[in-house]
Every structure is written in structure tokens, then in C-alpha cells.
Copies of this chain bind each other. A is one copy, B any other.
Amino acid sequence: MQESNPLGTHSVCQIALVVDDIRAYAARYARLLGLPMPEIRETATAEHTGIRYRGDPTGARAKLAFFQAGPQLAIELIEPIGGPSIWREHLDAHGPGVHHIAFRVPDMDQVVANLADEDMPVAQSGRFSGGRYAYIDSVAQLGVMLELLANDDQ
């Protein structure tokens, strides 16, 4: 059900950290949370993801690991690899730490337009198997970056 606010939802589905050694961080989170060591996946190549970073194509990829930290929320770990990305930008500027909070949105194009109208433009976007994502440059207004997630079948 779509809500009438700019995001079309109010439910956070992920909190994500960028890290410099995903295997080490994943092992520590697995121990802390009492969850199995997750599979560490690599994002697909740019020809499959169509990744764009601040308007331009990039060869950036990432290693990803997910922990289901309760029914609503996943903790995501991201280790940037390859070319320039908002992940690498954050890691270089701040070191390992929280990078974004994510929301599943009902209508990606509409939400992107809503946020652009409020001076929160897209910083990076791309596709993954079954859906697409957009990172929103919202740090000045909200203190943290947003990620929008949408499934292809929506």
C-alpha cells in the first residue's frame, strides 16, 4: 500500500555499513548476533547492473553480506571493490561505518522525483537480480544517505 509521503513508506528495511574487510566484520557480526556466517557475494559487472555513480558509468562493484536482525531489518555489510562509487567515497572519507538506511519503495520513479524536488538527488543507481536501487544524496538534510529499493514485479 502506497503512502502519501515522499517515500511512499515509513518502514526501514536495511541499515548498511561500508567496511574495509568484509570477512572480518561479518565474522564479528555473526558472533555478536548469534547468526550463521553469511555468504559473501559480489555484485555483478557493470554491463549487468548498469551502475551509474554521480551521473556517469563506473566499473565499481562491491562484496555484500546480510544479517537478518529481526523480522523487519537486515544489517548489510558492503566492501567496495573496483572503480569509483559512493561506497568507496564514504570509506575513504570516514573509514568503516554506517553508510545508509534503506526503504522498499512502491514506485521508484515517483519517489526519486519526489526527493529530487526536495534537493535530494540520486547519487548512485543500478540494477540487481530482480530489482533496482537508487542511493539518495540526503546527508545534508537527514544526516544519512537513503537507499531506495524496488522489485521489478512491482
Contacts and interface: CB of A to CB of B under 8 A. Distances in A.
Contact of A10 (B15, B70, B97, B144): B70
A6 interface: yes
Interface string A21-35: 000010011011111
Contacts of A70: 10-13, 72-73
A104 B80 CA distance: 31
A144 B98 contact: yes
Contacts of A154: none
Given A5-B34, A15-B15, A142 B10 contact: no
25 contacts: A5-B31, A5-B32, A5-B34, A7-B32, A10-B34, A10-B35, A10-B67, A10-B69, A10-B70, A11-B70, A12-B15, A12-B70, A15-B15, A15-B101, A17-B144, A18-B143, A19-B143, A25-B142, A71-B71, A71-B72, A72-B72, A72-B73, A94-B94, A97-B143, A98-B98
